[in-house]
Amino acid sequence: MQKTDLIKQVAKAAEMSQADAAKAVNALIEVVTEALKNGEKVTITGFGTFEVRESAARTGTNPRTKEKITIAARKRPTFSPGSQLRDAVSGKSE
């Protein structure tokens, strides 16, 4: 599902215009992104948790030259699904 498909589905489910649904979806994405940039964890009960995890620096190998290289530490966003989402996807939902 692409973002435009998501907007259409939100508009239909919430009985609102696609323009309003687009504003809502974009606002959600913006708020979650800003929170993660500020180091905050975002939890949507039953759906899941977005958070930033740090990957440690490590040694890798350049596949072309076989030369050892250092891969820098970095922050990456992660998502952990909540129990209701896991159950719905696995078919255990009510």
Backbone angles phi, psi at 8, to 5 degrees: -60, -45
64-68 mean pLDDT: 94
Q: Give the mean pLDDT of 63-75.
A: 94
CATH of the domain at 44: 4.10.520.10
- Residues 20-41 have pLDDT tens digits of 999 999 999 999 999 999 999 9
State the chain's mean pLDDT as an integer: 95
- Residue 43 pLDDT exceeds 90: yes
What gap in Å lies between CA 80 and CA 89, rounded to an integer?
A: 14
Q: Any idea how long the chain is?
A: 94
State which residues form the domain around 44: 3-90
Q: Are 51 and 68 in contact (CB under 8 A)?
A: no
Query: What is the per-residue pLDDT for 93?
Result: 60
Give the C-alpha separation, 13 to 7, whole Å.
Answer: 10
How many domains does the structure of the chain reveal?
A: 1
For 7, other C-beta atoms within 10 Å of its C-beta total 19
Q: Which residue in this structure is represented by tokens 């996807």?
A: 89
pTM value is 0.79
